[in-house]
Structure formats: C-alpha cells, structure tokens
C-alpha cells in the first residue's frame, strides 16, 4: 500500500460530500436541519439518531461505492480499515441558506485518519 493512501481515502469522501454531488440530497438535508446524519462508508447505510434513512441519501451510496472501488483498485487488504464513517451536519438559517458540515473518519487497528470541510447552499439551489 502506498504511503499516504489511507489519509487520501479519508479526505476524498469529505470532498465529494462538500461538492456538487450533494445537490441531489439538498431537499432532504434541509428537512434534516439540526440533525447529524452518519454514513457507514463500508455498508453505505445512512442513519439519524440510530435510525436508518430509507431510502438512503444519494451521497451515502456514492461515497460508499467510491471507497469500495478504491480499496479494490489500490489493493487495500481486507480488514485494514476497521471502521469508516462520514457525518453530515446540515443547518438551515432563517434566510434559507443551508450549511453542511462534513467529516470523515477512517479507523485502522493502529491509527485514525480524518478530514473536515463545510459547504453552503443558497435557498434556490
């Protein structure tokens, strides 16, 4: 496994979630304002307060698929990553601006890799 790979694998889901690919989930995230959505990147499931979202968020499925593809492409041995989760914390203000704080954590037996970012969307987006 190349040096820095696991840190890159922690950074990219956050970047995906804070980019244009979040667009399809904006209406649901506005409804979930004030909650924390947790995405299990190994399974693709999204939960709010330990309740699974059904249907799941598009971004949950996309980032999970991306991570699994990268594990295979980069030869990450099975069981190297023991947990991988992304959190989305949407907050809508009184002007209709939606801010989503995104964070990803990848855990191995010996180390934790994380990343954080935030994005803002105007009411008409």
Mean of pLDDT over the chain: 94
Map out the domains of the chain as residue ranges: 5-120
What proportion of the chain, given as a percentage, has pLDDT over 70? 98
pLDDT of res. 125? 67
pTM metric for this prediction: 0.92
Tell me: the pLDDT tens digits for 7-49? 999 999 999 999 988 899 999 999 999 999 999 999 999 999 9
Per-residue DSSP letters for 51-82? EE-SSPPHHHHHHHHHHHHHHHHHTPPTTS--
C-alpha to C-alpha distance for 56 and 77, rounded to whole angstroms: 27
DSSP alpha helix (H) spans, the chain: 5-17, 26-31, 58-74
- Residues 25, 18, 109, CA angle at the centre, nearest 5°? 105
pLDDT of res. 124? 74
What proportion of the chain, given as a percentage, has pLDDT over 90? 89
Report residue 75 as tokens. 């030869």
């Amino acid at each position: 496994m190349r040096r820095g790979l696991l840190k890159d694998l922690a950074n990219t889901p956050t970047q995906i979630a804070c980019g244009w690919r979040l667009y399809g989930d904006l209406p649901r995230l506005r409804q979930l304002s004030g909650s924390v959505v947790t995405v299990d990147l190994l399974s693709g499931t999204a939960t709010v307060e330990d309740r699974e979202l059904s249907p799941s968020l598009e971004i949950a499925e996309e980032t999970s698929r991306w991570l699994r593809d990268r594990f295979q492409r980069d030869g990450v041995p099975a069981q190297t990553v023991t947990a991988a989760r992304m959190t989305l914390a949407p907050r809508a203000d009184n002007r209709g601006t939606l801010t989503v704080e995104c964070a990803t954590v990848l855990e191995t037996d010996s180390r934790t890799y994380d990343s954080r970012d935030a994005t803002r969307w105007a009411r008409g987006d």
